[in-house]
Copies of this chain bind each other. A is one copy, B any other.
Amino acid sequence: MVARMWGRETSSRHGPRPSLELGSIVDVAIRIADREGLAGVTMGSVATQLGVAAMSLYRYVGSKDELLVMMADAAAPEPPALDGRAWRDYLFDWTRANRDFLLARPWLLALDQRTPPTGPRLLRWLDRALAALAGTGIAYGARINIATVLSGYAAQQAALAHALSAGPAATDDSIAGLAEYGEILGQVLDADAYPELTSAIGASALGVAEEWIDDADFTFGLDLLLDGIEALVARGAHD
């Protein structure tokens, strides 16, 4: 399957030429997901869109799951260019761009956790992050760790932002913003079992506005991470 994703297929010589390409199948599936969400992506819907029968797709992908994994890679944009920036600047951008494309295609959130990156696009993201850290003297293993942590952060923030901002159609009982979330909690919490949460809500740490999931909060956590990395660099880049 990895082989297929990278276009390393044994091209056969006998028989009719394939009438489709893997790429267009994946593209169509992505377009459907953009329009109707992941639920709209069925072997049938993709095939219809391409003008073939559902079963034909199985000549190109081994299973629906495989198709989904390929979508997850192909739907990612190219990572931002390094352009000689300092590692911190670049990684900041990198992480935000990562979050942004997840937010632009929320269905990616459901696909991500499936596999470590094995597709061309996502590996390019990884590669660029490593490149940004090249001058820091941090060991390779640690660099990979850092990239992993940052992309995890991006995914988490995207998931959170999506869950809270989801339009009424996103989930049946979706939460229409942070204010409502705080409200729900307020109805249910009792101060004995949840003293701190109750205080937090009382202090309207939640519910003041829809701003919680603003860039301010994203930046806050990301700076936490980058500060940690900076400390590591300063410490002399042990492993």
Chain A interface residues (CB < 8 Å from chain B): 1-3, 6, 8, 62-63, 65-66, 109-110, 113-116, 118, 120, 123-124, 126-128, 130-131, 134, 139-146, 148-149, 152-153, 155-157, 159-160, 163-164, 171-173, 175, 181, 184-185, 188-189, 193-197, 199-200, 203, 205-206, 212, 217, 220-221, 223-229, 231-232, 239
Contacts and interface: CB of A to CB of B under 8 A. Distances in A.
Contacts of A149: 153, 156, 221, 224-225
A114 to B, nearest CB: 7
B145 A156 contact: no
Contacts of A116: 160, 163-164, 175, 181
Main secondary structure of the interface of A (DSSP, over half): helix
4 shortest interchain CB distances as A-B pairs? A152-B156, A224-B228, A140-B205, A130-B196
A196 B228 contact: no
A106 to B, nearest CB: 10
Nearest to A133: B196
